[in-house]
Amino acid sequence: MALPVPMDPAAGRPPALPSSPQMPRWGYQASFIQPRQPAFWLFVIIVAITALLILGEQARILSAFPVAWLFSWLLLAIWVVPVVLAVYVLDQFEREPVSIMVAALLWGAVAATGLALVTNTAWFEILFKLFGATFVQTWGPALIGPTVEETLKYAGLVLIYLVARSEIDDLFDGFIYGAMIGLGFATVENVGYFIRPVVALGGADQLGPVVQLYLLRVVFSGFYMHVLWTGLTGVGLAYFVSRTDQPRQRRLLVAIGLFAAGVISHFVWNSPLLTDLLRGDPGPLEMILFGLFKGLPFLGFLIVLILLAQRRERRWFEVATASEVEAGILSPTDVSTLGDIRRRVAARRALQRSHGSGAGRLLGKLQREQIDLAMVRTRSHDPRHPDIERQRDLVRSLKDQLAAMPALPIVPLPTVPLPAPGSSAAAATVTPASLAPAAAPAPPTVTTNVWAPSHRVPETGMLAWSAPDPGLTPMVTLVARLDLRSVEQVGDWARVEAVNCWTGWVDARLLVRLSS
């Protein structure tokens, strides 16, 4: 349901832009490079110090097990790149600044991981002295990892907010930055996990153990781990700092509750529960079940939060574009389509089918500029601001260009039956026109008007066109062994006729000549 737009009693129409402090300022993008912010320098100092620790650790692994180290990073790169793109695309309207995305990844991969190496070790020693080796081995990872690591990752979220407060203006921003921190942490941590069994084997096998741990911790369980845990805590922080329309006590309770949810989900994962599934040599089924039982409930909870955050963003998008709909710059259909990434893609594909690939690309550009119009709209209360007028003119121009693009010609796809009794009809299958023969000028050779088969379609079947033009779309695929009569020939093209009077152009070089 769309968010109600308040009416201006004097004008009898929606105001240009609501003045509520809740409205995200999508039109602004802050850089993480903020030398005047003390939090920026604290971030830089912590990352610089912990980088020495992480680089030293990675250098030791590289020198001892170079094949395993390089293979680990190759496999992780195959995972990290699409995850970053997926998280980035999920933000349908406001694209997060690249500098802050990089900062989030750095904090997770370097600062949080480096600090966790030191802090976890210290706490394991304390638990060992208090409860003994058996307790530490069984419950140590579940008690220490979640509390220490989620706190360190959360500290990075807080620093990012202190450096660029305007960039965490809605719940989805908190998820994105939390997911990026979790992804960075998981990447470096996984290298350590991949190398452990290699060390246990003395380096005898530097590939097998890496593949097995990659399947368990990345392929079957990657989305149930750090990306999920810190994504939950990030939503809580974003709720606290952005939902100023809610009482402070409620915001604090939600932030604490979602932080606790991240810690608890991490605790469940690290706990000895269901570890029997992984004993011995676990197969894909055991790995999948392990991930499902340990992480699926929390992943489902996070998905619900993401959907709610996206619905809230769509409501703000409708508010930001209300005056543009009234002015005729955007239509209600435009707003509905732009509010759902699947509808955007479907609209581009539909136009591409009817008007060609160029029209599909142009519509994609128009959609981006229409969204940018809403972004610009959020940073100015003046509907006649030069930036808004400039963006409106760009949208109008793209719409005019799109309206001028001609539709593709529609070529009927007739059914060509086999003349023999019991034969099936030819399938109307269209394949790329690049398979067509090259046109060559030549005087036509006309044969007799009495129908008698002179050629046959080869065993592989063949394409037929409505004219001897390789630029046209094939209109039909002729079935194998169909008898045809060659009526005329132009270069490598032959116009053929079937017994039912159907006619079309084919590649003469592929026809099988019948014996006289």
Query: Which domains are seen in the chain, by residue range?
Result: 38-313 (no CATH), 327-403 (no CATH), 433-513 (2.30.30)
Indicate the pTM of the whole model: 0.66
pLDDT at 327: 80
Lowest mean pLDDT across 324-328, 406-410, 453-457, 489-493: 406-410
pLDDT at 6: 38
Most confident of 362-366, 400-404, 410-414, 501-505: 362-366
Lowest mean pLDDT across 125-129, 199-203, 264-268, 349-353: 349-353
For all residues of the chain together, what is the average pLDDT? 80
Q: H helices then E strands: how many in the chain?
A: 14, 7
Amino acid identity for residue 75 in this structure: L
Lowest mean pLDDT across 15-24, 345-354, 499-508: 15-24
Most confident of 47-51, 172-176, 239-243, 310-314: 47-51
Q: Over the stretch 30-60, which tens digit does the pLDDT of each residue have?
A: 789 999 999 999 999 999 999 999 999 999 9
Q: Over the stretch 406-424, which tens digit does the pLDDT of each residue have?
A: 666 544 444 444 444 444 4
Which residue would you say has higher pLDDT here, 400 or 196? Answer: 196
Structure tokens of 185?
Answer: 């942490």
Going by their DSSP bridges, the two strands 476-478 and 503-507 should be labelled as unpaired
| pLDDT at residue 437 greater than cutoff 80 | no
Closest CA to 299 of 214, 217, 216, 229: 229
| pLDDT at residue 70 greater than cutoff 50 | yes
Structure tokens of 79?
Answer: 């995972």
| pLDDT at residue 305 greater than cutoff 80 | no
Query: Quick check: 504 and 465 in contact, CB under 8 A?
Result: yes
| pLDDT at residue 20 greater than cutoff 60 | no
Q: Where does 324-390 show beta strands of DSSP type E?
A: none
pLDDT at 216: 80
Which parts of 132-247 fold into alpha helices (H)?
A: 133-163, 171-200, 208-214, 226-242
Hey, which residues does 354 pair with through a beta bridge?
none
pLDDT at 23: 56
